[in-house]
Amino acid sequence: MTSNSTPNPLAEVAEQFSLHRPKLFAIAYRTMGSPWAADDVVQETWIRLQRTDIAAIDNLEAWLTTVTSRVCIDLIRRDAARREDLRWATSGEDFLSEAASTENAMAEAASAEQPEDTALLRDDLAAALNIVLDTLGPLERLALVLHDFFALAFDDIAPIVDRSPATARQLASRARARLRDVDVAGVHHRQESAILAFLSAARDGDFGRLLQLLDPEIELRSDPAAVGLAGAGAEFGAPLLDRGVAGPDAVARVFNGRAQATRLVYIDGIPAAAYVTDDNPQAIYLFRFWHDRVSSVEVLADADFLAALDIVV
């Protein structure tokens, strides 16, 4: 007896999507600076793919890259609207509004690539990008990430950012120029000091000091593995983690008098913290800063994610 199985179009689409997912996540992670935001971007890309006639897509990888990039743009702009003060970074130039520059002016500036427009070393680029990410506009971020990290030509980047190739080149150049001005060592020193102060205040149960170190809009997010790990160790002084906590008072209560086994570490050369046992990181704390205050903490204990990181204790 023979059985005829009906092909499942959705399963076939899901299989193709899974092949490209690592690259999509990497693009979103570099652009958004957060694994949570990157997951949201990739999920939204998957939803849009399900609503699309895949047979009409000539190049699926290019289509997915474009959609992922444009979802990043939407999320960055939404976050920019929530944080109005980010619209006036450093010298007062509005780096989150592409309307500030005309197409012609940027095309003239990009008519010939200058020596300083050549790509930075990858490690230096990653470290500097992490520091100035929030001061770059969405199109600048994408042009830089797609070209310098993923080696896309500006002819391919242009339709993604809805600009000419010359303007796409200039967007990347403008972002790269800001990265070159970053004192990475100096910023990392301040971040190390802030993380050490945070951990010290937590261990000492100095609630008032914790509040001083936290941004008014701080958010704490933890993956399920981190929540489970902390729950198992709560009676031994592990932080009282939940999936999502917002506000300085609530976040300070999570850590107050706790985090005894959490240490300063470096992840891909960037200061962070980790819960360490026998010199092995079991969970990591990724910090973001705004005006030298902690603006977000992301706690991750997923084994696959940790295995992909370069963590120096």
Mention the CATH class of domain 184-312: alpha beta
Confidence of residue 44 (pLDDT cuts 50, 70, 90): very high
What average pLDDT is seen over the chain? Answer: 84
**What integer pLDDT is reported at residue 123 of this predicted model?**
64
CA 219/CA 215 separation, integer angstroms: 9
Structure tokens at 60: 């699926």
Token pair in block for residue 131: 């520091």
Compute CA distances 311 → 46, 123, 143, 175, 307, whole Å.
30, 14, 28, 27, 9
What are the tokens at 246? 């917002």
How many C-beta atoms lie closer than 10 Å to residue 125's C-beta? 19
Q: What is the pLDDT of residues 255-278, one digit of tens each?
A: 999 998 999 999 877 899 999 988
Confidence of residue 313 (pLDDT cuts 50, 70, 90): confident
Domain with CATH 3.10.450.50 in the chain: 184-312
Q: Is the pTM of this model over 0.85?
A: no
Backbone angles phi, psi at 253, to 5 degrees: -65, -30
State mean pLDDT over 3-20. Answer: 76
Instruction: Using alpha carbons only, give the angle 171, 173, 176 rounded to the nearest 5 degrees.
Output: 110
Check residue 98 and give its pLDDT: 39
> CA angle 302-225-20, nearest 5°?
40
As a whole number of angstroms, the distance between CA 204 and CA 29 comes to 34
| Residue-wise pLDDT tens digits, 139-198 | 999 999 999 989 999 999 999 999 999 999 999 999 999 888 888 889 889 999 999 999
Q: Distance between CA atoms of 19 and 185, rounded to whole angstroms?
A: 37
